[in-house]
Structure 1
Amino acid sequence: MGHQRTMRRFAKWHIWLGWLVGFPVLMWTVTGLVMVAKPIEEVRGNHLRKEVPERALPSDTQIAVSLPAESTRPVRSVTTQVERGETVTRIAYMDGSTARFRPDGSAMGPLSEVEARLIVAESIDGGDKVVSSTRFDADAVPFDFRRPMPVWQVALEDGTHVYVGADTGQIEAVRTRWWRVFDFVWGLHIMDLQTREDTHHPILIFFALLSVIGALLGCVLMFRRRKARIVAK
């Protein structure tokens, strides 16, 4: 009798937990299905990136670039490559900023709108079909970029947003329409629509724990039902 009472209590708890976590479990399942509906490379827009052939540096290129005398920022990396027919040395600083220099050591200014459009047209399939281009400061970037750096947003006819760093002169992100859908359902999946980055917060942990308890109770009750069917035979 004690065993039966315990099982009945488990069954009652299982029903109440089912009502409580039913919607979150359904939401996790649906959002998970949406997120695996397309390959992650396509979500990230990698399929839109063209294969831009690399070009060797001219034999007389001066690799070394003198830093400005007033600069005391620690350097993280220095790279030199040919971009659109011009040799560019890019210095990335430890504070996250980037500066570009010509072979003679002169600094290159922030990317212009025309340059940003040319980079997109050269590097992205359909990049010549531009609807608009807008420059954003580091502290006011669009939500689908979410990185504190000045960028040009080049919006294409198919709804893709290509972000080109105003200081880096490189494509920093490709945000397709599907990426924005993916980003929204990811926020639902982790129950964080505000930043869509916090996977460790009390609400998510609470409902995940309740779901685990409900699943364990369901497993226990399966043995009860199986035993009841055996007895009935």
Structure 2
Amino acid sequence: MRPMRLRRPLARAHVWLAWLVGVPILIWTATGLWMVARPIEEVRGTALRAPTPRLPKLELLVPPPGRALKSLSLETQAGRAVWVAGLSDGGAGRADPATGRWLPGLGEAEARGLARASLLRPAAIRSATYTPADRPPLDLRRARPAWGVTFADGARVYLDADTGAVLALRTDQWRLFDWMWGLHIMDLNGREDTSHPVLIASAALALIATLLGLILLPFAARRR
């Protein structure tokens, strides 16, 4: 008889917990279903990217002088080869591989040209906006000075303002996916914090409600 006396308070607790965590569970299920149903290549805009251009033929390679290098690679920008250098102090830059001379950062006109060249079939450019490293846009979330070039079809290409390298391609599909992810982890502001009190408490209550439901199953079967 004692187990049967426990059924009523357990059932009442289960009902209240179900009401409390019903909304978070609905959000997790709906957003999770949407995210896994979208092909990740479509979200990333893989089909929009132009193929990587071949490097032009170079007779001589001269490394850039005078600054401590962390990494050095060759890229093609606007039909010419450039050094893209990562610096030991955390900065970055680009240089002429034929002379080693350091090149200036991107201006708006060059950023527009490189952004257009990075896409297979670019739409008309709507705007180009510079953002400093300490205030990156939400859909970039990288502490780098950048040019964000927005196209008429909603695509936005982010270019490193120091090196000209493509940092990211964002599409309307990516932004919706990113919003769904923020809702899924209950962090719509930063969309990166997967260990905050609201999410932990909601998950813990959902677990308790599930365990109570499993405990109550034998009682339901016995009543039938």
TM normalised by structure 1 equals 0.88
Aligned partner of residue 140 in structure 1, secondary structure: coil
In the alignment, is residue 67 of structure 1 matched against residue 54 of structure 2?
A: no
Cα distance change of structure 1 residues 198 and 94 upon mapping to structure 2, 3 Å threshold: farther
Between 129-138 and 13-22, the greater mean CA deviation after superposition: 129-138
Aligned partner of residue 36 in structure 1, secondary structure: helix
Are the aligned partners of 1:57 and 1:81 in contact in 2 as well (CA < 8 Å)? no
Are the aligned partners of 1:120 and 1:128 in contact in 2 as well (CA < 8 Å)? no
- Determine the C-alpha separation between the residues in 2 that align with 1:97 and 1:166: 11
One-letter amino acid of the counterpart of residue 10, structure 2: F
In the alignment, is residue 92 of structure 1 matched against residue 90 of structure 2?
A: no
1:191 to 181, 186, 193: 186
Tell me the equivalent position of 2:27. Answer: 27
In the alignment, is residue 144 of structure 1 matched against residue 139 of structure 2?
A: yes
Are the aligned partners of 2:64 and 2:95 in contact in 1 as well (CA < 8 Å)? no
Between 17-26 and 78-87, the greater mean CA deviation after superposition: 78-87
Between 154-163 and 36-45, the greater mean CA deviation after superposition: 36-45
Number of aligned residue pairs: give it.
223
Tell me the equivalent position of 1:119. Answer: 114
| Residues 147-180 of structure 1: per-residue CA shift (max 9 Å, x gap) | 1111111111111111111112111111111211
Unaligned runs of 5+ in 2: none
| Residues 77-135 of structure 1: per-residue CA shift (max 9 Å, x gap) | 11124433322112102443211111201111011222222222222133242111112
- Determine the C-alpha separation between the residues in 1 that align with 2:42 and 2:161: 25
Are the aligned partners of 1:160 and 1:174 in contact in 2 as well (CA < 8 Å)? yes
Are the aligned partners of 1:138 and 1:151 in contact in 2 as well (CA < 8 Å)? yes
Tell me the equivalent position of 1:106. Answer: 101
- Determine the C-alpha separation between the residues in 2 that align with 1:179 and 1:223: 45
Aligned partner of residue 84 in structure 2, secondary structure: strand
Compute the displacement of 1:49 (Å).
Answer: 0.8
- Determine the C-alpha separation between the residues in 2 that align with 1:223 and 1:67: 76
Are the aligned partners of 1:126 and 1:156 in contact in 2 as well (CA < 8 Å)? no
Tell me the equivalent position of 1:3. Answer: 3
| Residues 179-217 of structure 1: per-residue CA shift (max 9 Å, x gap) | 111212211111112211110111111110110111111
Unaligned runs of 5+ in 1: none
Aligned partner of residue 34 in structure 2, secondary structure: helix
- Determine the C-alpha separation between the residues in 1 that align with 2:166 and 2:122: 12
Aligned partner of residue 187 in structure 1, secondary structure: helix
Cα distance change of structure 1 residues 82 and 162 upon mapping to structure 2, 3 Å threshold: closer
One-letter amino acid of the counterpart of residue 19, structure 1: W
Are the aligned partners of 2:64 and 2:101 in contact in 1 as well (CA < 8 Å)? no
1:156 to 151, 157, 172: 151
One-letter amino acid of the counterpart of residue 131, structure 1: R
Are the aligned partners of 2:56 and 2:81 in contact in 1 as well (CA < 8 Å)? no
One-letter amino acid of the counterpart of residue 178, structure 2: D
- Determine the C-alpha separation between the residues in 1 that align with 2:218 and 2:70: 60
Compute the displacement of 1:142 (Å).
Answer: 2.0
Quote the sequence identity (%).
42
Cα distance change of structure 1 residues 152 and 67 upon mapping to structure 2, 3 Å threshold: same
Cα distance change of structure 1 residues 205 and 126 upon mapping to structure 2, 3 Å threshold: same
| Residues 4-26 of structure 1: per-residue CA shift (max 9 Å, x gap) | 01222221110010111111111
Aligned partner of residue 213 in structure 2, secondary structure: helix
- Determine the C-alpha separation between the residues in 2 that align with 1:8 and 1:132: 63
Compute the displacement of 1:61 (Å).
Answer: 2.0
